[in-house]
Amino acid sequence: RAMHELNIQTICAETSAAKGRVERAHQTLQDRLVKELRLQGISTMEAANAFAEEFMNDYNRRFSKAPRQEFDVHREMDVDDDLDMVFTWREARRVSKSLTVQYDKVLYLIEDSEFSRRAIGKYIDVWHYPDGHKELRLNGISLPY
């Protein structure tokens, strides 16, 4: 959903060989990075993060391959893209007769109004934002709770 909202086409490895190459590359990176961290005497997260760029530059210098096509498909983000909205976790929940919705082991009581009563028995969306706050929405309109 997030990729669609950002107008990004995902390209998946579709053959066993392609999937194997990806898995092999990840395994190689995990193995080499751990060994390199030990060789460098790095044991803290801060030091590992500082070393990561140096490691990636060296790894890419030794193992990267030139792309078959030089065409760069990166693009600027659209000014209308709101990443907080895009990266919300969204789930549908049914509104009970008593205007309650259960989500993540919490029971939310929706404020009673003419509009919110239309949601009784219907599914609404629970939006869980990256910063932790939640929003209940009926047809894209926020419901106070």
Helix 45-63 and helix 16-40, axial crossing angle in degrees, nearest 10: 130
What pLDDT was estimated at residue 12? 82
What pLDDT was estimated at residue 70? 86
Six token digits for residue 65: 């391959």
For the full predicted model, state whether its pTM sits above 0.75: no
Over range 17-28, report the average pLDDT.
Answer: 80
User: For the ranges 12-21, 34-43, 122-131, which has the lowest average pLDDT?
Assistant: 12-21
What pLDDT was estimated at residue 46? 93
What pLDDT was estimated at residue 16? 83
Residue 82 pLDDT exceeds 90:
no
What pLDDT was estimated at residue 100? 97
Rounded distance between C-alpha atoms, residue 145 and residue 130, angstroms: 19
Paired sense of beta strands 100-103 and 89-94, if any: unpaired
DSSP H or E run through 101: strand 100-103
Torsion of CA 86, 104, 92, 8, to 10 degrees: 20
φ, ψ (nearest 5 deg) of residue 25? -65, -40
Residue 72 pLDDT exceeds 80:
yes
Residue 66 pLDDT exceeds 90:
no
Over range 6-33, report the average pLDDT.
Answer: 82
Q: What angle do CA 7, 12, 15 make, to 5 degrees?
A: 160
CB-CB contact of 144 with 110 (8 Å): yes
Task: Give the percent of the chain with pLDDT over 70.
Answer: 100
Residue ranges per domain, the chain? 2-63, 88-143
